[in-house]
Amino acid sequence: MRDVITILYNEFETLDVFGPIEILGDYLNILTRFFIQ
Amino acid sequence: MTGGIITSSQNVPVMTRPLSELKSTRYVLFIPGGTGVKELVNNDTFIATLKSLAMNAEFIITVCNTLIPDRYSYGETCHFEQTVVCLDKNCNWRELDKESPLGKRWHNVYQFGSQCRDGLGIGIRIRPAGVSCSKTGEPGD
């Protein structure tokens, strides 16, 4: 199991996160975790 | 990087956790794009943290007009290769203008076509950790 460390910051692009994460789930066995600036 | 609610350009709030809670030794670093990058590129503390995370990541994934951490300092550029996952059939990566603020600061900064913000042109570039580097690295398109 891999963690996906996502760097979120104010004014990130919503679609840049939630669209790709959904796709990545098909490619990688992942556990998504959000971290920030 | 203390965690808390972060709000996207579309006003979507997301609860996040501080990096100090990070315990993973095997992880994928995912960096989304967004207009907030314009400020982050001049934030030395953030940049240093990002580099540190990138150094230990198994993969680095960037989307759209985001920062691509150069884990290899000293002016070397790194190949971008391996898997490219696109939501759009016309995957068209191009290198960021080297004269732009981002381009001056970072090597191998790529944008995905010109439709980044319309929801159609989102792409993901995955670069494995520890890829070979060269001083004349070319993108792996």
Q: Tell me what ipTM this predicted complex has.
A: 0.74
pLDDT at B30: 78
Contacts of B15 in chain A (CB under 8 A): 34
Q: Which residues pair with B112 in a beta bridge?
A: B93
Query: Taking CA A14 as the corner, what is the angle to CA B114 and CA B36, rounded to the nearest 5 degrees?
Result: 75
pLDDT at B97: 58
Which residue is associated with the tokens 């794009």?
A: B33
User: Chain A within 8 Å of B86 (Cβ-Cβ)?
Assistant: no
Say if residue B89 is exposed, middle or buried (CB neighbours under 10 Å; 0-12, 13-18, 19+).
exposed
Contacts of B63 in chain A (CB under 8 A): 13, 16-17, 20
pLDDT at B104: 53
Contacts of A10 in chain B (CB under 8 A): 6-7, 36
Mean pLDDT in order along chain B per 10 residues (141 residues): 87 88 79 76 76 71 56 32 36 55 48 39 42 37 29
User: Chain A within 8 Å of B68 (Cβ-Cβ)?
Assistant: no
Q: Closest CB to A35: pick one of B1, B28, B63.
A: B1
Listed by number, the residues of chain A in 1-37 with a beta carbon closer than 8 Å to a beta carbon of chain B are 2-17, 19-21, 23-24, 27-28, 30, 33-37
Q: What DSSP designation does B102 have?
A: H
pLDDT at B11: 93
- A27 vs A13 pLDDT, higher one: A13
Distance (Å) from the C-alpha of residue B39 to the closest C-alpha of chain A?
Answer: 10
